[in-house]
Amino acid sequence: MPVIALKDHPFDPYQELTAFRTVQGGKAAKYGAQSIFIGTMRDFNEGETVERLWLEHYPGMTERELARIVEQAFARWAMDEALVMHRVGEIKPADAIVLIAFWSAHRGAALDATRFVIEELKHRAPFWKKETLGRGTRWVERNTPA
């Protein structure tokens, strides 16, 4: 069963992965592949230094859209498990923003599902980014290319 969570505080993606694997117990022996994507906040965007980021969302709506995206990945590829975590609220440079992990019997499916989810998340999930720069703040109008 996929786990999807929004976090309003910093999280360590490696600790989250370890905890998830621990809960899986003996099931881990059937997974031949694990694909992991960790997105972190960089300290620049559009040629300017970014001091921090505010990530706004609609509670409930955001989780439902993330669940739909993950369900679509499960429908397209043979997945065993998934873990998707995303930050909201104030984020500082180098903080983890997103963790996407898929477990499958085969690497191709796990890799394809991971890429699919991050790309769909960037375009469909209801998040809005407000950057704090040295000169003030601005709302991010578009995502950066893959």
Q: What dihedral angle (degrees, nearest 10) is formed by the CA atoms of 113, 115, 120, 126?
A: 100
- Amino acid identity of residue 115, one-letter, is R
Full-model pTM: 0.94
Q: What domains does the chain contain, in order, with CATH numbers?
A: 3-23+31-39+59-127 (3.90.1170.40)
The per-residue pLDDT string of the chain (146 residues; one tens digit each, 9 = 90 and over) reads 899 999 999 999 999 999 998 888 777 677 889 999 999 999 999 999 999 999 999 999 999 999 999 999 999 999 999 999 999 999 999 999 999 999 999 999 999 999 999 999 999 999 999 999 999 999 998 877 76
Report how far residue 89's alpha carbon sits from residue 9's, in angstroms, rounded to the nearest whole number: 8
Q: Are strands 44-45 and 48-57 parallel, antiparallel or unpaired?
A: antiparallel
